[in-house]
Amino acid sequence: MPREKLELLVDRIATPTGEMVLMADREGNLRMIEWPDQGSRLQRQLDRQFGKGNYTLTPARDPNGLSTAMRRYFKGDLAVLDTLPVKAEGTPFQESVWKALRKIKCGTTISYAELARRIGRPKAVRAVGLANGQNPVGVVVPCHRVIGSDGSLTGYGGGLPRKKWLLEHEGAGR
């Protein structure tokens, strides 16, 4: 029996780093955040996360107050991220990485190796990097807080300049 299509409520907000697309479900969970200026990444993320053709997109203004909350974050209310309901579905491994990402304190960074250690898989550094890159709820599930072991900025779906801005915005001393 085919599963029912997931309706995603979609809003777009202006941020200091460009337009952001937010998607939420009817239950009020943030399901995806993406930067539309990153080419076809948005479509790939949607199809990977929900399955091609298994979702509908419905324009919505400030679904569940999530757009307002994200605007607050960009205006300096950094703690608001910790209050947002998120639902991201992946493999058990991906979900363990995403859960660990939410535990990285604002204003700090950790390495991919440290993230692998935190989930109890110290040798899975590359797999952690891949899971980090497939995080559908960037910023709120703060994959931007993960950096290279040498302190360098590496990989970010929204682009390295945006990652640098987010870290500076959060006061992460590098």
Find the CATH number of the domain harbouring 157: 1.10.10.10
User: What's the pTM value of the predicted model, to 2 decimals?
Assistant: 0.92
Q: Are 103 and 82 in contact (CB under 8 A)?
A: no
Residue 16 within a domain = yes
* Catalytic choice (143, 146, 166, 172): 143
Clarify whether residues 129 and 161 are in a common domain: yes
Is 143 designated active site? yes
pLDDT digits (tens, 9 = 90+) for 144-155: 999 998 888 888
Would you give the distance in Å from CA 6 to the centre of its chain? Answer: 19
Residue 174 within a domain = no
Confidence at residue 91, expressed as pLDDT on a 0 to 100 scale: 94
Please give the residue range of the domain that contains residue 135: 92-169
Q: What is the DSSP string of 55-123?
A: EEEEE-SSGGGHHHHHHHHHTT-GGGGGG--B-----HHHHHHHHHHTTSPTT--EEHHHHHHHTT-TT
**CA contacts within 13 A on the Cβ side of 13:** 20
Clarify whether residues 158 and 103 are in a common domain: yes
pLDDT tens for each residue of the chain, 174 residues long: 556 899 999 999 999 999 999 999 999 999 999 988 877 778 888 888 888 989 999 999 999 999 999 999 999 999 999 999 999 989 999 999 999 999 999 999 999 999 999 999 999 999 999 999 999 999 999 999 999 988 888 888 788 999 999 999 999 864
Using alpha carbons only, what angle is made at residue 96 by residues 93 and 100, rounded to the nearest 5 degrees? 145
Q: How many domains does the chain have?
A: 2
CATH number at residue 69: 3.30.160
Confidence at residue 174, expressed as pLDDT on a 0 to 100 scale: 46
